[in-house]
Structures are given as C-alpha cells and as structure tokens.
Amino acid sequence: MNAPQRRQLHGILHGIRAVIIDLDGTMLDTAPDFQYAINRMRSELDLAPLDIGTIINFVGKGTENLIQRVLAIDFEPDQAARHFARALKSYLRHYLAINGDFTTVYSGVRDGLDALQAGGMRLACVTNKPIGFAEPLLQKTGLIDYFDIVYGGDSLPRKKPDPLPLLQVCADFALPPQQVVAIGDSCNDALAARAAGCWVLNVPYGYNHGQSIQDVDSDGIVETLLEAASLICRDRVGAG
C-alpha cells in the first residue's frame, strides 16, 4: 500500500472504536483441517480425495454449503441430496476430532491483535464456522482471550453475507456501525459489512471462493492484520 492510500484509509478509519474479524482465511489458515476431514468423509463414500486448492475455493459460506459443493463434484443434485446427511455427519465427526491440528496462525495476526488491544479497540470474531468448532479453535491457537464476542455461523438466525451478525456486534458494543470496521478475506465479509453500514478491509491471502480479492468492494486491502491495526490505531499508539 502506497503512502497516499495509507493516508486516505487512515482518514476513513479515524474514530473507529471496534473491529470485527473473520476467522478462516483471515486469522487462521484452516484449509489443511478442511482437507483432512473432507477426504476422510469422501473415503467413506468411496470417492477420490480432493486437492487443497479445490477445497479452498469452497470455503467461507458455511459447513452445509461446503459439503454440498464437495458432493456436487461427483453427484447429480438428486444424488447429492440423498448423500448429504450422511456426508455432513461424517465430515463433522472427522473435523471435530482434529479441529486445529493442522491449522496455522497467519503472519501478523498476533501482533495485529496486540496492537488493536493496545489501541483500545473492542474486538469481536464473526465467522461462518459453527460456534462449536470456532471457540475451541480460538482456544487451541491462543487467540480466544483477545475477543469480547465470538459468533459462529449458527449463533444467530442468519450468517454472513447477511449483515445480522455484524449489526448484532454493533448492538452488543452499543456503537453505531460507522465506528466499526470489519476485516476479512472474502466477498462475504465485504457484503455483510456494506449492508450493515460498517467499514471493511480485506486481506489478500485466504479464501475468496476462487475470485480475486481486488474485485471485492471494500475500503482497502491490507497485507496483514498488523497493517490494519497500524491504520486503525495510528493516533492512539503511534503506529504507522
């Protein structure tokens, strides 16, 4: 990001008081966990394993959508529907058994979270991953204590890209959406933030359904969570 872009973003983000951060593909590289559980499930259905690139393109819209897309590779819609319940149960069993075992924390995440906390930000994690997986994963990776609020894809009646989870966080923090920024790796995060009236930053790594992050309507692309923190908290902690 060049200097004029940084100045522009800093102006936009002046006055931010809370940050909503996505999980998979933004803070944590969980694709190897997905690959392991999906391929164990596929082996039970006598299906060939999938490469990690294929799986990454399916991540981000919730567990049910993930399994539907995985089954669609091999089955016609009516056949996929018949296999869905068994496949979902198998996947959840295998994922729960290894949740976090193959996951890594992206570079800049811990430093970014430290900087956001030092800057006085309220922090929430909003993910489409089921809450029963999200909270243990945050615990296992040592990130859980950074967050005042964690919402999973099944915590509320609707999940991203619906704005409801972000609006709920704003209500929980008693803040207007204009004082909240969402950070994520995909169009789901940007669509939810735009609909909620929050600002939104994207990271260029992670999982954006096989699409270029440059095509997503956001307020800017930051290389790391630490760079985002330096822009958001610049006046408070002297970063940037």
In tens, the pLDDT along 126-166 reads: 999 999 999 999 999 999 999 999 999 999 999 999 999 99
What pLDDT does 13 receive? 86
Question: What mean pLDDT, rounded, does the chain reach?
Answer: 93
Cα gap 139→157, rounded to integer Å: 24
Cα gap 96→44, rounded to integer Å: 16
Query: Residue 6: which pLDDT band, with cuts at 50, 70 and 90?
Result: low
Average pLDDT over residues 14-42: 96
Contact yes or no for 37/63 (Cβ under 8 A): no
Residue closest to 92 by CA, chosen among 150, 34, 45: 34
pLDDT digits (tens, 9 = 90+) for 46-66: 999 999 999 998 987 889 999
What is the domain class of 31-98 according to CATH? mainly alpha
Cα gap 14→71, rounded to integer Å: 45
What pLDDT does 238 receive? 40
Cα torsion for 40, 42, 44, 46, to the nearest 10°? -140
What global pTM score does this model have?
Answer: 0.90
pLDDT digits (tens, 9 = 90+) for 74-119: 999 999 999 999 999 999 999 999 999 999 999 999 999 999 999 9
Which residue type occupies 128? N
Cα gap 143→218, rounded to integer Å: 25
Q: Looking at the predicted structure, is the pLDDT value of residue 3 above 70?
A: no
Residue 73: which residues within 8 A CB-CB, separation 6 or more? 50, 54
Q: Which of 22, 24, 33, 189 is catalytic?
A: 22
Q: Which CATH architecture has domain 3-29+108-235?
A: 3-Layer(aba) Sandwich (3.40)
Q: Looking at the predicted structure, is the pLDDT value of residue 11 above 80?
A: no
Q: Where are the domains of the chain?
A: 3-29+108-235, 31-98
**114: annotated active-site residue:** no
